[in-house]
């Protein structure tokens, strides 16, 4: 696998140096897809003690989107070791974002709902139910996040096939906007944003398969 990783990186560098952005994006996507398990393990190793399972999944999403959209422009290394170090920094940075999001979300819920012992018990029951639902959705997102590993021209056309809510969430994801800020901008709950993201990723993966098989992404 290491040899294949190095091949993808080498081809990415050749295409980038030649100014071929489309080819560079394609090789970068292959490199990210080949290392998705490694990235997942990095996130879990760094943040599993401080984040709940569904928060770990959000951190994986944030890290993947950051690598997909931003690291490709900022990476200046020439070796897999340098690439792994760069990804490691993204993992640390975006993992802390997920921690901050979790803390703000927890404080917000507590301030709104915990007013007495009965209210606290209701909050815990509701939180457990929400966590289970979010974890299930985000497990699917983790599997489907590869749908975002597509060249920019494909995504620009494919997102037009999403619903308005799905398109809004994915476009903000592509800009690297944290989930809490997406909720604020769209006036939607985290559950709504998670669900929209999950549906969008599944749809994009299906469109990507059709695209690679020679199908059309345009109406």
How far apart are alpha carbons 20 and 14 in whole angstroms? 9
The reported pTM is: 0.49
Q: Whole domain around residue 94: which residue ranges?
A: 2-212
Helix then strand then coil, % of the chain, to nearest 5:
85, 0, 15
Q: pLDDT tens, 32-48? A: 888 989 998 988 888 88
**Residue 217: inside a domain, yes or no?**
no
**Residue 60: inside a domain, yes or no?**
yes
**Residue 102: inside a domain, yes or no?**
yes
Q: What are the b/e assignments for 169-208, b being 16+ CB within 10 Å?
A: bbebbbeebbbbebbeeeebebeebbbbbbbbbbbbbebb
**Residue 49: inside a domain, yes or no?**
yes
**Residue 218: inside a domain, yes or no?**
no
**Residue 171: inside a domain, yes or no?**
yes
Model confidence at 117: pLDDT above 50: no
Number of domains in the chain: 1
Q: pLDDT tens, 85-102? A: 999 888 887 766 656 555
CB 53 within 8 A of CB 135: yes
**Residue 219: inside a domain, yes or no?**
no
CB 137 within 8 A of CB 190: no
């Amino acid at each position: 696998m290491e040899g294949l990783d190095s091949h993808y990186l080498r081809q990415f560098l050749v295409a980038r140096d030649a100014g071929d952005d489309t080819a560079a994006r394609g090789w970068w996507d292959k490199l990210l897809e080949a290392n998705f398990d490694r990235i997942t393990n990095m996130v879990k190793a760094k943040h599993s003690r401080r984040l709940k399972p569904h928060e770990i999944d959000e951190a994986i999403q944030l890290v993947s989107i950051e690598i997909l959209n931003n690291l490709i422009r900022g990476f200046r290394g020439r070796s897999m070791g340098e690439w792994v170090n760069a990804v490691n920094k993204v993992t640390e940075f975006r993992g802390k974002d997920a921690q901050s999001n979790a803390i703000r979300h927890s404080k917000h819920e507590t301030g709104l709902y915990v007013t007495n012992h009965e209210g606290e018990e209701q909050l815990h029951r509701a939180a457990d139910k929400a966590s289970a639902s979010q974890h299930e959705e985000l497990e699917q997102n983790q599997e489907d996040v590869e749908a975002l590993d597509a060249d920019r021209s494909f995504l620009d056309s494919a997102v037009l096939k999403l619903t308005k809510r799905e398109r809004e969430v994915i476009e903000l994801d592509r800009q690297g906007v944290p989930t809490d800020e997406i909720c604020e901008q769209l006036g939607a709950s985290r559950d709504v944003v998670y669900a929209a993201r999950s549906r969008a990723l599944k749809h994009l993966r299906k469109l990507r398969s059709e695209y690679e098989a020679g199908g059309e992404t345009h109406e």
